[in-house]
Amino acid sequence: MIERTRLTWQELLSQHLQADVPLKDLVSIRTGGPARWFLEVYDADTAVDAWLAARAQGLPVLFLGKGSNLLVPDAGYPGLVIHFGEGFSKMQLEGAQLHAQCGVSLKALATFAADNSLAGLSFAAGIPGTLGGGLIMNAGAFNGEMSQVVASIDCAAPDGRRFSMNLEQAQLSYRHSRMMKEGLLVLGAALNLTPGHRDALYAAMAEFQSLRREKQPLSWPSAGSFFKRPAGYYAGALIEQAGLKGLTVGGAQVSEKHAGFLINIGGATTADFIALMQEVQRRVLERFGVALEPEVRIIPGEPG
């Protein structure tokens, strides 16, 4: 088989890449500066070629879906942002197995499954991310998580090698995966679903959405649950018991509605959120002896 000729950095510059693209509106917390270089993805080959070409230029690379779990530096991202959005969100069924590209939103995935009377993804309907990020984080809610439906995951490695892994190989656990550990690019997945009743599935999704609206500050920009759940505790409960609801740094605030959420009440910067996070961590550790770890990915900026 003849190996495909990969796109060079110069070809990418002339044909595909955009410069100084604002990221603030592409991340759910609504902070951060521009990407030095930006690529909107429509096919896997170009995405992998761009990854390799940027690395060869000594540039860091950030894979971006819906940006629902990210803090981007206020100065911007100094490398290449590869964005997997609507142009990389195809879905198709093979029996009860759903094949999807990484850019499809979890809401669209759950809705597509329900429309086809297939159960297993109702829990994901309200998670504000994409399939790629959901798999890397093993996203979950309402006693469901991605590991319960994964059949296989299509990946690319930093050397450009493409391969699939099964559920066991993916090593999915609480907010962790092999893809996260090894810095792999998730391109798509096959998900095993089971027959269900369309109306019942829509009713379940509506109930989950209602619970989210009741308990979570969905009317404010945020990155979802900001901290991981510490063993034996709930982060939100510890923060509330420490009296930190409403604590504010700049435009960043511990939500009055759910203390596990740090929200953007207007004009917040990434620096505001990092300062607020550190103050919350300090006070919870001082009060309870529990070290809170961020669930949100804090993307580094320029070194030094």
Q: Of these residues, 175, 177, 222, 255, which one is catalytic?
A: 175
Tokens in use for 224? 């979802």
14 classed as catalytic? no
Options 68, 152, 225, 255, the catalytic residue: 225
Q: How far apart are CA 246 and CA 254, in angstroms?
A: 5
Distance, C-alpha 25 to centroid of its chain: 15
Task: Judge contact between 138 and 181, C-beta under 8 A.
Answer: no
Catalytic residue check, 225:
yes
Annotated catalytic residue within 28, 40, 105, 295: 295
| 295 is known as an active-site residue | yes
Q: Give the ranges where 76-234 is alpha helix by DSSP (H).
A: 106-115, 131-136, 167-170, 178-182, 198-215
DSSP 3: P
Whether the Cβ atoms of residue 277 and residue 262 lie closer than 8 Å to each other:
yes
Residue 29 φ/ψ, nearest 5 degrees = -85, -10
Q: Count other Cβ atoms within 10 Å, centred on residue 118.
A: 24
The strand pairing partners of 155, in sequence order, are 163, 186
Structure-block tokens of residue 288: 């309870």
Residues labelled catalytic: 175, 225, 295
